[in-house]
Amino acid sequence: MTETTLTQEDLELISMADLRARYEKLCAYRDQVEVRIAPLRAQLADANAAAEKARVYATEVAKQLSDARGGQSWFVLKKNIGMLAKALGGK
């Protein structure tokens, strides 16, 4: 069902009975769509929960990796290696 936006002018040209009928038809359609997409909403919720669980796990692994390297000292080490390599004529 493709719906166009009603204007105030449209509303003024439609009788109250027709307004009510249109309102009820659109609400019924909305409700049918909501019922039809409920399984997709559940799948999306599951996917979002799995993504959050994966994000938390990735954060934990990244912290373990950083800790195993020595944390901030790893970056200092790499900086020092770079400076020494330059001093020795490297890149």
How much is the pLDDT for 39?
98
The reply to whether 68 falls in a domain is yes
Report the pLDDT value the prediction gives residue 14, as an integer from 0 to 100.
82
- Whether residue 48 lies inside any domain: the answer is yes
CA-to-CA separations, 46 to 39, 41, 49, 55, in angstroms, rounded: 11, 9, 5, 14
pLDDT at 35 over 70: yes
Given pLDDT bands bounded at 50, 70 and 90, which one contains residue 87?
very high
Asked, for residue 29, whether it belongs to a domain, the answer is: yes
Residue 2 lies in a domain: no
Q: How many domains does the chain have?
A: 1
Please check whether residue 75 lies inside any domain of the structure.
Answer: yes
Residue-number span of the structural domain to which 78 is assigned: 8-87
